[in-house]
Structure 1
């Protein structure tokens, strides 16, 4: 096999990069739902990925919601029209926003090239993702206990000229009173760069 053929075989395409980001978000969001106690622990099952054991929801409604949302997100990542994905955790009774996980997207390299590829080794990207997922899992050590019934929603911040599908609605920004933020590590495919930040209500 020539080195040129070898190169194209291992390169990550724009589509492949978007899939990596959505895969990370699927595991990251499930980890948040488990770690933050939004649903009973028996509603999760362990899966191995990125060299970690990650607890994934077995609830069909949540799986369907994430699958639909991330499917749409993948298209927008390929079109480079998304700036941020936010997981918003709300007190069911008072509707107060208790916590917000922001996944900020930056586009690297030649953003006008629809055939853009990255030569970054997948193993290196997965190691970077593993480090972020470890930080999400250990965040329970400093995040305030959510001692009320909470629900979650996902907001996707797009560039203003994006045509929203019918089932999507414009949302209000989820602001938090007395907010405190913690920034996690970032990872990059060299096409999409993702920063993860958790913002929570500081009770002090």
Structure 2
């Protein structure tokens, strides 16, 4: 995805914030897929972003899927329609959900679709936003030290929770919530663009 540029450094529009958040999701999802071993290490390449070396998939099918989903998420973010993005990992053989990464999205106070017409902007410095995003990325990497080993072949899906008013393309379908029975949850750091606030958690299955 293209790098994000902002005018005037600290002026973040709703549209610019949507780009920043969708870009974060792109790098975050790639990082999770790499760290959790969903695809072989040799199907990733390294890229510098947020002052970190991040792993990005080179698989064309995965890239197309992520780009298509995140392009739609960006549109929904601009419209103020996204409530949550969830990355679900499922045991291919048993179809059981074994891990779930939730990223809750909220518009900061005073922002909404009308903000575009009004020309309302956030006032957070881009470097500070990226520093907060970097801290979340570092935490995603650190999670590997305590998350259970995924000793089965897993697939992943992305679920997007939107408001009922969201304009949903025909190719999108309703999905089950994919919750995990007998799960443990760990909270992640949050970040804010001053327009959108994103906080997350990871849930994983606990063996009894």
Is this a same-fold pair by TM over 0.5? yes
Deviation at 1:161, TM superposition (A): 2.2
Long gaps (5+) in structure 2: 1-6
Distance 1:16 1:161 in 2: 22
1:109 and 2:106 aligned: no
Q: Which residue in the other structure is 1:55 paired with?
A: 55
Q: Which residue in the other structure is 1:87 paired with?
A: 87
Deviation at 1:163, TM superposition (A): 2.7
Q: Which residue in the other structure is 2:138 paired with?
A: 134
| 1:181 match: secondary structure | strand
Q: Which residue in the other structure is 1:9 paired with?
A: 8
Distance 1:36 1:105 in 2: 23
| 1:103 match: secondary structure | strand
Q: Which residue in the other structure is 2:26 paired with?
A: 26
Preserved CA contact (<8 Å) 2:12 2:194: no
C-alpha offsets along residues 55-110 of structure 1, whole Å, 9 cap, x if unaligned? 11000011111111000000100110110000000001111000000010011032
Provide the aligned C-alpha RMSD in A: 1.2
Preserved CA contact (<8 Å) 2:14 2:115: no
Aligned residues: 198
Q: Which residue in the other structure is 2:192 paired with?
A: 188
Deviation at 1:160, TM superposition (A): 1.4
Distance 1:199 1:158 in 2: 21
Distance 1:75 1:164 in 2: 11
Long gaps (5+) in structure 1: 1-7
| 2:93 match: secondary structure | coil
| 2:150 match: secondary structure | coil
The runs of at least 4 consecutive aligned structure 1 residues that moved more than 2 Å come to none
